């Protein structure tokens, strides 16, 4: 957890937002709540200068302000029981009450005096006419006396005076929605977007560095010395182009969390007419152009000539321009999704679905869809204990134990779709239990079993539905073994992708970094899956990545289980071969390896789950 701004800073920030907006009349209710006298004095001083210099109208409600704060106001409105007792200059308010028979003692604060003089309980102590007995002066009587007071008469006369429309007509109306001209609004939003970009410089540098690493890997896999320009290698060139588009499309996913995190502030400022929506969106799009050009150039410069595309300069720049457009389209697409669905988890699901649609209808079929692990989960906990070191005060009182137990043998479960109320008296341990279950405790000793195990039933249902829809629709061969192996492979694949996403989140400090890291690994899984480039064609210095790639084992299991034993003959490149023989010669898949494949598919989600458990136990990115 990164600590936010303090209460005083929030007050000053909100005041600053309102000042720079088009509003010239400010109504501020109890601005001193939760603030110390020094901070309150700074805020009221700023408001005083704003009223005197800018001519703004400011009404502030305060309850018993300090004398130095009360002295900053020009006029005072004193209310009691729904009546205005006094409305006029601050310097004349004591004279009014002296005319009514009440006097403020020398050492008494004026604000405290005004608060008590209208109270039936405290009014008598301020009565100054010692020769007359005190009789309670009601609020209604004070209001009537104010009308006879010179300040009250002047106020009534001023209110009865007709307005000279020739002098004040235009000043009474606002002819502009925003406080600045369009160009000034654009420059202000551009400067703010540049400031936010500098603050997130690590994210942008990390993305570009990651792109360079992936580009180096890609160019050494599709290296031209291993690929000839013939019909047999055309699929590899097509695969390299597809992977380039895939990589530059996926990199835009990082825009989702950054955009969603800013929408709350944008909606507030837009509704207060600080600036129009175009002044916010256009600078953000313009400042992304240099990054798109940089990323597109880095990728094209690294991969173009090494892979062995056409050497003409115009073709190089044509690919660079296309990559630039793809990168821009990706960034803008995910910004649109974030604006339509301002929730990080739901927006990620929509983003992946949009990528799926793009790839399916882009002319190059991808083997499977990838789902980030944002499913409803059930939290279970059993025999949870929480201990802290015994405070010195208790030890001095004779408490024998070194550890003080705050939670004792807590067992329960929280289910998705069910609103659970955690109830108990103050000090019962409600907050302690929630902090323990959520991993917010940075001290003490936690014992027990806390699990999130319900991914397996959820994914089991998901795999059953997927197989029930796709298996008959695709037209695979019907046999119990093939249907079961297809289901088993899909179930293990969905399960390890789920644990893989959890593992990435547990290893990163923020959602933004996790999304960037996820996009990197998902493109790597596609690259080494054995579909874009078959395993036997991968250079020997990268073939180890192929053998440890989970997606490669999923693809191997799917194709081998369905077609590895099929002896039907087909013609490939003018040669007669069987389907099983083609899988063995082109992809390197062997039917007798199904047992090994099944074992590895089961081991992969177990490995990811173990790493996830280790990371959440040992890593802690919280800051207090």
Same domain, 115 and 238: no
CA–CA distance, 140 with 137 (Å, rounded to integer): 8
Of 106-120, 415-429, 531-545, where does mean pLDDT reach its minimum?
A: 415-429
The CA distances from residue 572 to 232, 391, 519, 578, in Å, are 10, 78, 35, 9
**For the chain, what is the domain count?**
4
Q: Which two tokens stand for residue 324?
A: 């630039």
* pLDDT classification of 257: cutoffs 50, 70, 90: confident
CA–CA distance, 30 with 483 (Å, rounded to integer): 69
CA–CA distance, 302 with 316 (Å, rounded to integer): 11
Please check whether residue 376 lies inside any domain of the structure.
Answer: no
Same domain, 182 and 236: yes
Please check whether residue 172 lies inside any domain of the structure.
Answer: no
Express as a percent the part of the chain with pLDDT over 90.
1
Same domain, 14 and 152: yes
Q: Note the pLDDT of residue 7.
A: 63
Looking at 115, 146, 166, which one is the last position of a domain?
166
Same domain, 356 and 385: no
Please check whether residue 201 lies inside any domain of the structure.
Answer: yes
Same domain, 582 and 603: yes
Please check whether residue 183 lies inside any domain of the structure.
Answer: yes
Contact 146, 96 (CB under 8 A): yes
Same domain, 114 and 51: yes
Q: 510: domain range?
A: 455-624
Contact 561, 601 (CB under 8 A): no
Same domain, 447 and 459: no
Same domain, 118 and 143: yes
Torsion of CA 365, 565, 494, 220, to 10 degrees: -50
Same domain, 197 and 252: yes
Please check whether residue 171 lies inside any domain of the structure.
Answer: no
Please check whether residue 2 lies inside any domain of the structure.
Answer: no
Residue-wise pLDDT for 269-291, tens only, equals 888 788 888 888 888 889 888 88
Instruction: Give a three-class secondary structure readout of 238-304.
Output: HHHHHHHHHHHHHHHHHHHHHHHHHHHHHHHHHHCCCCCHHHHHHHHHHHHHHHHHHHHHHHHHHHH
Does the pLDDT of residue 442 top 70, yes or no?
no
Of 113-127, 174-188, 337-351, 372-386, where does mean pLDDT reach its minimum?
A: 372-386
CA–CA distance, 292 with 330 (Å, rounded to integer): 10
Question: How far separated are the first and last CA of the chain, in Å rounded?
Answer: 7
Q: How crowded is residue 226: how many other Cβ atoms within 10 Å of its Cβ? A: 15
* pLDDT classification of 371: cutoffs 50, 70, 90: very low
* pLDDT classification of 453: cutoffs 50, 70, 90: low
Same domain, 316 and 391: no
Looking at 312, 339, 366, which one is the last position of a domain?
366
Please check whether residue 252 lies inside any domain of the structure.
Answer: yes
Contacts of 442 (CB under 8 A, 6+ apart): 620, 622, 624
Torsion of CA 437, 441, 447, 453, to 10 degrees: 30
Same domain, 461 and 479: yes
Does the pLDDT of residue 232 top 60, yes or no?
no
102 strand-pairing partners: 127
Please check whether residue 371 lies inside any domain of the structure.
Answer: no
Residue-wise pLDDT for 14-53, tens only, equals 777 777 766 778 888 877 777 777 878 888 888 888 888 8
Same domain, 13 and 125: yes
Looking at 139, 166, 193, which one is the last position of a domain?
166
């Amino acid at each position: 957890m990164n600590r936010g701004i303090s209460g005083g800073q929030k007050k000053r920030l909100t005041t600053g937002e309102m000042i720079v907006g088009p509003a010239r009349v400010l109504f501020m209710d109890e601005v001193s709540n939760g603030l110390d006298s020094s901070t309150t004095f700074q805020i009221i001083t700023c408001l005083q200068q704003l009223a005197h210099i800018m001519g703004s109208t400011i009404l502030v409600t305060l309850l018993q302000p300090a004398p130095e704060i009360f002295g900053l106001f020009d006029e005072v409105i004193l209310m009691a029981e729904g009546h205005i007792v006094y409305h006029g200059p601050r310097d004349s308010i004591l004279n009014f009450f002296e005319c009514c028979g009440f006097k403020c003692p020398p050492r008494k604060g004026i604000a405290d005096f005004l608060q008590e003089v209208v109270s039936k309980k405290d009014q008598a102590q301020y009565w100054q006419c010692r020769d007359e007995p005190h009789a309670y002066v009601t609020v209604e009587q004070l209001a009537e006396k104010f009308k006879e007071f010179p300040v009250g008469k002047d106020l009534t006369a001023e209110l009865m005076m007709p307005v000279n429309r020739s002098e004040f007509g235009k000043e009474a109306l606002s002819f502009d929605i925003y406080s600045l001209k369009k160009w000034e609004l654009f420059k202000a939003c551009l400067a703010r977007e540049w400031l936010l970009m500098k603050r997130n410089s690590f994210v942008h540098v990390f993305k570009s560095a990651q792109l360079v690493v992936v580009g180096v890997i890609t160019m050494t896999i599709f290296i031209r010395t291993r690929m000839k320009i013939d019909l047999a290698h055309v699929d590899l060139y097509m695969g390299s182009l597809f992977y380039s588009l895939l990589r530059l499309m996926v990199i835009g996913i990082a825009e989702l969390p950054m955009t969603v995190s800013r929408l709350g502030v944008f909606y507030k400022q837009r509704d207060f007419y600080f600036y129009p929506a175009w002044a916010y969106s256009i600078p953000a799009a313009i400042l992304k152009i240099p990054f798109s050009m940089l990323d597109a150039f880095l990728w094209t410069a690294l991969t173009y000539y090494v892979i062995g595309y056409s050497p003409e300069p115009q073709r190089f720049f044509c690919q660079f321009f296309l990559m630039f457009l793809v990168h821009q389209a990706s960034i803008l697409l995910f910004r649109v999704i974030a604006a339509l669905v301002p929730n990080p988890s739901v927006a990620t699901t929509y983003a992946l679905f949009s990528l799926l649609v793009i790839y399916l209808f882009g002319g190059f079929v991808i083997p499977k869809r990838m789902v980030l692990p944002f499913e409803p989960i059930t939290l279970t906990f059993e025999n949870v204990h929480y201990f802290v070191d015994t405070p010195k005060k208790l030890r001095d009182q004779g408490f024998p134990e070194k550890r003080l137990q705050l939670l004792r043998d807590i067992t329960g479960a929280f289910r998705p779709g069910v609103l659970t109320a955690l109830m108990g008296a103050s000090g019962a341990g409600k907050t302690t239990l929630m902090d323990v279950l959520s991993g917010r405790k940075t001290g003490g000793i936690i014992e027990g079993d806390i699990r999130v195990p319900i991914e397996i039933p959820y994914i089991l249902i998901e795999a059953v539905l997927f197989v029930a829809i796709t298996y008959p629709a695709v037209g695979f061969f019907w046999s119990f073994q093939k249907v079961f192996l297809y289901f088993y492979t899909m179930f293990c694949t969905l399960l390890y992708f789920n644990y893989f996403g959890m593992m990435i989140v547990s290893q990163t400090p923020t959602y933004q970094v996790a999304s960037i890291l996820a996009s990197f690994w998902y493109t790597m899984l596609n690259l080494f899956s054995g579909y874009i480039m078959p395993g036997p064609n991968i250079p020997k210095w990268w073939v180890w990545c192929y053998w440890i790639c989970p997606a490669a084992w999923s693809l191997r299991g799917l194709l081998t289980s369905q077609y590895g034993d099929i002896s039907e003959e087909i013609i490939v490149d003018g040669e007669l071969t069987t389907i099983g023989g083609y899988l063995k010669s082109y992809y390197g898949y062997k039917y007798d390896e199904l047992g090994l494949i099944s074992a590895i598919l089961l081991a992969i989600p177990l490995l990811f789950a173990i790493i996830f458990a280790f990371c959440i136990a040992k890593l802690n990115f919280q800051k207090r």
